[in-house]
Structure 1
Amino acid sequence: MIDSMKTALFRTSGGALLLALGLALPGCSKEEGPVQPVADGATVREISQGELIGSTTPQGAHAWLGIPYAAAPIGDLRWRAPREPARWSDRYEALDGTRRCLQYASEIEPGFEGGELAGSEDCLFLNVWAPPGPVDDLPVMVWIHGGANVWGFGGQLDPSRLALSQNVIVVAPNYRLGPMGWFAHSALRESADKPEDGSANFGLLDLIATLRWTQDNIAAFGGDPDRVTIFGESAGAFNVGALLASPLSEDLFDGAIMQSGGFATHTMQEAEFGPDTEGARRGVASREALAELGISDAEQTPATMRAIPAKDLFQAYQDLRPDEGGLGDSIDPIDITADGIVLPEEGLPALLASKAGLHDVPVIFGTNRDETRAAGMFDDHFTRSIGGVAFFAKDTDAYLAQGEYPSATWFERAVAGPATLRAKAGSAPVFAYRFDWDEEGDAIVSDLATLIGASHAMEIGFVLGDFESPYTDPFGFFFTDKNEEQRLKLSERMMAYWGNFAHTGNPSKGPARTSLAWRPWTAEKRRTMVFDTDETSGTRMMRYTGSMEALVERFAADDRFRNDVDRCKSAELAADTAISTGVSPGPWRGLANRYCQKSQEPS
C-alpha cells in the first residue's frame, strides 16, 4: 500500500513538496495575489468561437486567460466526453486564469483555507501566452500541470519568459480532476451517446479536446498547428505518457517532454470495483465511493450519479482515503485507466515496448536527482524538529541515503527503462536528463539543500521561467538573492533546450544557442544531460551506467544506513516509487519485507 505521505511526495504531485512545507511553516506564505490583468487592444484576436481580447503580462508577453475550449461538463454532461464550446456574440474578455476544476485547496494557496473544496465543475478553460505581434507560424508548447490529478490548474504559473525568450506559444489548460476526471461505471458506458462517453478517462479526453482546439485556433495567436509539443511535470507527465499512447491523440502533437513522470495505468476492473486484494490497492474505485454514499447497486443509474452533489462525492473519496498521516485534505481516486477507448486495454507498460505502442515522435524523459528525499523530512526516525517548524537531520549521511535509492529507482524506471525501449522500438530520437540543482536557502534554521535537494517539482520554475509564483516558492526560501545569478543562467539554458526541442524536435538544434550538444539516448550509450549551475558540478553530458541490479548491490553495501529501520524505510519507498511509475516493485518489496521484519526482531 502506498501511503498518502509518499503519494503526496512522489506519486504525481507537482506542488506536494510546497504543500508539505506549507503545513510545516504556517503563516510564511506570500499573501499577495496575482496582479489583475488589464485588457489590451493590441491583443484582439478572432477565433472559431468569436472575437476575444487579452492582456500584456509584466514581462511583455501577450496573454489570453480563461478561454473556454469545451462546453461546461455539468448536468447531463458530467462524465461525458467534452462537447464543442458555444460561440459568443460580444467580445470575450480573456482576463481570468484563476478558474479551476473542483479540488481541495492546499494550505499554501492565497485566498483559500486548506482543505476547502475549491473550483467548479464548469472549468474547461485554457490559457495562451505569446510573444507580442506580429508573429506567425511559431511552435506551440502545451503545458499540462501536475498535482496528482486531483489538484492544480492551468493558470498557476506564468510562462511569459519561456514564450518570449524562445519565441514560442504556450498553452496551459485546465482538465477535470479527481472523480470528475476519472470515473468508471457500466451504467455510464451503457448510456453513452458516443464511444468516448464510455471512457473512464475524462481528464485525458479534456486534454485531447485542448489539442484539437489548438489545431483549430492557434494560428490566430501566431502559432503553427503542425508544430505542437506537449510537456508536463509529475501528474502532467503521466498524462503526457498516456497521450503518447492514445489512438485519439494521433497527429495532434509532434513532440513530448515528460518531467518526473511514468507510464502507470489501472485496469477497468480496478477503476470500477477496486483491487483484488487490499495489498494491491492503488486508490479508491468508483463503486467504492458510491457505496460510501449509501447508493446501492440498483440505484446507481446515470441520472442518480449525475445528480450527486459534488461536495458529497468528494467527501466520500476523502472518507475512504487511508488515514496514514498524509498531508492535507486530499483524495486518492483511481486515475489513468486502460479503458479500451482512450487507452488500449493492454496498458501503458506493455505499449511502451511495442513498436506501434506509442506515437513515434521525439521524446524527452527526465527526473530530478533527489525526487523523494523530502519524504524523510517529516519522518521523526530521520529528523528532529523544533516546534514542528525547524527541521534537522539526526544523521545527515543516513538521511541522504534514505532518499537516494527511491530517487535513483525513479530515474531507472521512468527514464532509463522507457528511453531504452523507445530507442529500440521507434525511429524518432529520444533524449534524457537529470536535474541536480540543490542550492536552496535556509528555512528558519533548516538546511533545505540537505533536507530537500533537487527535489520533485523543483525544476518547474527553471523550465517555465517563473520563480515568483506562490506555487514555485511560496515562502521565499528556495529562490534567493544569493542563488539568483547562477539560477537564472541555468533557467535560460534549460529554456533554450526546451525551446529548441519545440522548434525542431532536437534540443540542440534551433534558434537558441546552446554551448553543449544534448545527444540522444541510445540503448548502447545511454547519454544523459545533467542540469546544474556552473559554480557547482555544471551542466554536462554523462553516460548512464547504472542498473537496478547495481543499485540494489550498492544499497546492500551502503554503510551510511545506521540500522535495519533505515533500510526498511528506504526500500519501502523505492518499491512504492517503482509501482507509481508503472512497473513492478522489482527487488525492493522483498528487501523492504526483509529489513522491516529484521527491524522488529528483538535485539
Structure 2
Amino acid sequence: MKYKLLALVAIVAIIGIYLWQKSVPQPLVRIASPEAIRDTIAGPIVGFSDEDDTFGWLGIPFAAPPLAELRWAAPRLHIPWKENRQAIAFENACVQLWGPLVGTAGNEGEVVGKEDCLYLNVWAPRDNSDIDSAGLPVMFWIHGGGNSIGTANTYPGHRLASGENVVLVTINYRLGLLGWMSHPALRAEGRSASDASGNYGNLDMIAALEWVQKNIANFGGDPDNVTIFGESAGGLNVYSLMASPPAKGLFHRAIAQSGSTSTTPLWRAENFADDVQPGESLSSREWLSMQLQHAGKTKGRKAAKVAQLAMSDAEILAFMQSRSPQQILKGISGGAGMYRAPQNLRDGTVLPKESLLTLFQSPERYNDVPLMTGTNRDEAKLFMAQDTEFVERRFGFLPHIKDIDAYNSTSAYISDTWKARAVDEVAAVISAHSEHKVYAYRWDWDEGAKNWLVDYSTLIGAGHGMEVAFVFDDFEGGILVPGFYNEENSPGRDELAIEMRSYWSQFAATGDPASGRNGDLLKWDAWDNSGPNLMILDSPGGGGSKMSREPMTIAMLKQRLAKDPQITDTKTRCRIHAELFLKTNSGDDYWNEQEYLDLGCANYDPWTVIQPTSESTN
C-alpha cells in the first residue's frame, strides 16, 4: 500500500475540501416578474419565474459589503432601499484563487471574486396555496470548497424546491484568509468580541440565517422549520453552527454530508511555525511575516518576525487593511485553487474553546437539533484519481490506476477514517446524551460509466461529493469528467436520487427521514449503538438501500495502523499516526502520547515528523 497521499487526504478531509462542482454557469436572460415581488426588511425585491414552476430570487444582499474597516469584522446590516431591487442574476463570488472547481471564470493562479460577496439566493414553488399558514420547510445550503473556494452560484435550486415542496436558500460566505483570520491585533481595544473572533465566515452564515428568520415567511417558508445542510466544508460548517452560541434558535435540523467536527485552537491559528506550540504554515503571524516581505518592508523570515513583533496593534491593522485581495493571496498556492489556512477557530465567542466532540456530550451547551450525518464509501478516490502517485495518464489523458490493490486499500483506509470522524464518533456521543435522534448514512453508488477507455466505477467509485448532484437533481455538466453518466447507469442513478431527495426533504419537514416524504420508502431508523444504525444508500443495481451496521471508530483505525503489515518502517507509521490523530485539529479528542510512544516513535517529534519547520525567504 502506498501512503504518500494519506497525509494529504487526511488534511483534506478535515478542512472539508469539496471537489464536485458545476462548470461555470452561463449567463441566462431572466425577466423580472411582477408576481415575484417580495418585501424584505431592507426593501422590496423582484424575482423571476424559474423552471419547474418555481420563483427564483438571486443575489439578495444579507449583509453590508465587508469592505474597508468591515474587512475582518463581523457582518453589518445592509443599508435599506426603497425601490424594487431586481434579484434576477447571481452576484459576486467571494475572493478566492481560481481553479477549475471554483464555479467562476479565470486562469490558474489568478485571484477571482470580490470582497462584496455577501449574497444569497432563494427558490420557492410558485403555488403555495395548498400549504398551511406556517409555510414550507426551509432548506439552507452551505457550499463546500475547503472553506477557501466555491460559491452558491453553482447550485440551481428550482428542482429541489419544486420536487420536494420546500423553500431553498443558498449562500455565499467569506473564504480562506478573508473568512478566517485570528491575530492578536484583531483583539485590539475597541473591537467587539465578534469583530475580534476571527470567525468571519461563520458569522456570515449566522447573518444569513438571521436574514432567513426575518424574511423567509414572505417567500412561503416557515422560519420555525429551518434545516441547515452542507457537504464537505459545508458539512464542517454545519457542525460548527450546531456548536455556535450566536446561532442558537436560528435553525431546527442539521444535515452534514461528508463533514467534520474539527476546529482550530487559537495557538495553531496564530503562532509562528517555530514556536513551542507551532502554528500552521498559514497562521496569522506566518502570513503577516510573508506580507511584510512581499511589501518590501523587510527581507527574510527572521527579520519579518522581528519587525512584526515590534509593530503596534494599530500599525498591524492599518497594514492588513491596506493590502488588496491580490496581495493577501500572493505566494499562496494549492490544488485546484484550494489552500489550507486556519478556520473554524476556537475563539470562545463564535465557537467554544473546547473540541466539538467534547461539547456534544452536553446537549444544554450547544444547538441540539435532530441530525443526519453521512459519508461516501470511497471518499478518497476522487482525490487519488488526480494524483500521479496512484494514477498515470496514458497518451496524456487516459487515467490508468498503477496498482489496483494499493489504490483500493489506501482509499478504504482514508475513507474509513473520514467515516469514523464524521459519523460514528459523533453519532455515538450525541445519541448517548441527547433527546434528539441521529440518522446516519453511507452513500455507496459506484456505477460511473465503464468502457475500454476508463472504468469510473473503480477510479472514482462512490467518491467525495458525488452525492450532491443526487440531492439537487442536477446531473448536467456537474461532474469533473465527461461521460460519467450514460444510458446504462442513469435509470438506477435517477431512482436513487428520487429516494435521497425524499429522505432529505422528509427530514427537513419533520426531523425524521422515516419512510420518505411520501411514506413509500424503507424506514430509516435512528442511530442505535447496538443495532442496525446505518442507512446504505445505493441503487437497485448495487443492492438497493438498506439498514445495516458497519461500525468504524478511531480505536479500530489506531489498531489497524499499529498492525498494518504494509507499513515497513517506524517513521512512516509515526508520521501517519501523528497526521491522523494530532495534526488534524482534533488532537484533543484522539491524541494519546503513550499510544504514540508505544509505536516506537520516541525519536520522532509528532509536530515535525510530517514536514520539519524550515526558514522561508518568501
Question: TM bucket by the smaller chain?
Answer: 0.7 to 0.9
Partner of 2:204: 206
Tell me if 1:308 matches 2:323. Answer: yes
Q: Contact conserved, 1:258 with 1:366, CA < 8 A, in 2? A: yes
1-structure distance, mates of 2:276, 2:461:
34
Tell me if 1:425 matches 2:433. Answer: yes
Tell me if 1:462 matches 2:460. Answer: no
Tell me if 1:89 matches 2:87. Answer: no
Q: Which of 435, 449, 452 is the matching residue for 2:460?
A: 452
* Per-residue CA distance 1:384-428 (angstroms, 9 max, x = gap): 321442121223222111110111111112100000000012111
1-structure distance, mates of 2:11, 2:425:
24
Q: Which of 535, 547, 562 is the matching residue for 2:541?
A: 535
Structure 2, unpaired ranges of 5+? 298-306, 605-618
Q: Contact conserved, 2:268 with 2:278, CA < 8 A, in 1? A: no
* Per-residue CA distance 1:118-176 (angstroms, 9 max, x = gap): 11111110011111133551011110000011111112111222111111111111001
Q: Match of 2:256, SS?
A: strand
Letter of the structure 1 residue corresponding to residue 78 of structure 2: P
Q: Which of 560, 571, 576 is the matching residue for 1:572?
A: 576
Partner of 1:129: 123
Q: Provide the TM-score with structure 1 as the length reference.
A: 0.87
Partner of 1:148: 146
Partner of 2:176: 178
1-structure distance, mates of 2:351, 2:343:
12
Change (3 A) 1:434 1:589: farther
2-structure distance, mates of 1:331, 1:72:
24
Q: Which of 71, 77, 91 is the matching residue for 1:78?
A: 71
1-structure distance, mates of 2:84, 2:7:
45
Q: Which deviates further from its counterpart, 367-376 or 352-361?
A: 352-361
1-structure distance, mates of 2:116, 2:64:
8
Matches within 5 A, 1:105-254: 105-108=98-101, 109=103, 111-134=105-128, 137-254=135-252
Letter of the structure 2 residue corresponding to residue 503 of structure 1: A
2-structure distance, mates of 1:145, 1:83:
22
Partner of 1:473: 479
1-structure distance, mates of 2:66, 2:108:
26
1-structure distance, mates of 2:466, 2:152:
18
Q: Contact conserved, 2:73 with 2:200, CA < 8 A, in 1? A: yes
Q: Contact conserved, 1:40 with 1:53, CA < 8 A, in 2? A: yes
Change (3 A) 1:174 1:88: same
Q: Contact conserved, 1:5 with 1:327, CA < 8 A, in 2? A: no
Q: Contact conserved, 2:255 with 2:371, CA < 8 A, in 1? A: yes
Change (3 A) 1:592 1:241: farther
2-structure distance, mates of 1:366, 1:55:
35
Change (3 A) 1:206 1:545: closer
Q: Match of 2:9, SS?
A: helix
Partner of 1:24: none
Tell me if 1:16 matches 2:16. Answer: no
Q: Contact conserved, 1:263 with 1:581, CA < 8 A, in 2? A: no
Change (3 A) 1:10 1:262: closer
Tell me if 1:60 matches 2:53. Answer: yes
* Per-residue CA distance 1:297-336 (angstroms, 9 max, x = gap): 31643233212112101115x0xx6xxxx52344322111
Partner of 2:390: 382
1-structure distance, mates of 2:597, 2:172:
36
- Cα RMSD (Å) of the superposition? 3.2
Change (3 A) 1:171 1:260: same
Measure how far apart 1:433 and its partner are: 0.4
Change (3 A) 1:110 1:202: closer
Q: Which deviates further from its counterpart, 83-92 or 64-73?
A: 83-92
* Per-residue CA distance 1:183-206 (angstroms, 9 max, x = gap): 112222224443211111000000
Change (3 A) 1:120 1:455: same
Task: Give the fraction of aligned pairs with identical amino acids, expressed as a percent.
Answer: 35
Q: Match of 1:231, SS?
A: strand
Q: Which deviates further from its counterpart, 538-547 or 576-585?
A: 576-585
Q: Provide the TM-score with structure 2 as the length reference.
A: 0.85
Change (3 A) 1:336 1:401: same
Measure how far apart 1:356 and its partner are: 2.8
Q: Contact conserved, 1:500 with 1:511, CA < 8 A, in 2? A: yes
Q: Contact conserved, 1:101 with 1:120, CA < 8 A, in 2? A: yes
Q: Which of 3, 9, 16 is the matching residue for 1:6?
A: 9
Change (3 A) 1:206 1:550: closer
Measure how far apart 1:371 and its partner are: 0.7
Q: Match of 1:501, SS?
A: helix
Matches within 5 A, 1:516-527: 516-525=522-531, 527=533
Q: Match of 1:512, SS?
A: coil
Letter of the structure 2 residue corresponding to residue 133 of structure 1: D
Q: Which of 491, 499, 505 is the matching residue for 2:511?
A: 505
2-structure distance, mates of 1:182, 1:79:
8
1-structure distance, mates of 2:200, 2:24:
34
2-structure distance, mates of 1:456, 1:227:
29
Q: Which of 372, 396, 399 is the matching residue for 1:391?
A: 399
Letter of the structure 2 residue corresponding to residue 83 of structure 1: R
Measure how far apart 1:551 and its partner are: 4.7
1-structure distance, mates of 2:528, 2:199:
33
Change (3 A) 1:393 1:581: farther
2-structure distance, mates of 1:368, 1:588:
29
Measure how far apart 1:379 and its partner are: 4.2
Partner of 2:501: 495
Matched residues, number? 574
Letter of the structure 2 residue corresponding to residue 287 of structure 1: R
Q: Contact conserved, 1:385 with 1:392, CA < 8 A, in 2? A: yes
* Per-residue CA distance 1:40-62 (angstroms, 9 max, x = gap): 22211111111111122233321
Change (3 A) 1:493 1:45: same
Q: Match of 1:51, SS?
A: strand
Measure how far apart 1:462 and its partner are: 0.8
Change (3 A) 1:386 1:9: farther
Partner of 1:26: none
Q: Match of 1:53, SS?
A: strand
2-structure distance, mates of 1:388, 1:374:
19
Q: Match of 1:196, SS?
A: coil
Matches within 5 A, 1:348-387: 348-387=356-395
Q: Contact conserved, 2:63 with 2:119, CA < 8 A, in 1? A: yes
Q: Contact conserved, 1:63 with 1:127, CA < 8 A, in 2? A: yes
Letter of the structure 2 residue corresponding to residue 486 of structure 1: G
Q: Contact conserved, 1:38 with 1:95, CA < 8 A, in 2? A: yes
Q: Contact conserved, 1:40 with 1:55, CA < 8 A, in 2? A: yes
Q: Which deviates further from its counterpart, 548-557 or 200-209?
A: 548-557
1-structure distance, mates of 2:600, 2:392:
24
Q: Which deviates further from its counterpart, 416-425 or 576-585?
A: 576-585
Letter of the structure 2 residue corresponding to residue 384 of structure 1: E
Q: Match of 2:540, SS?
A: coil
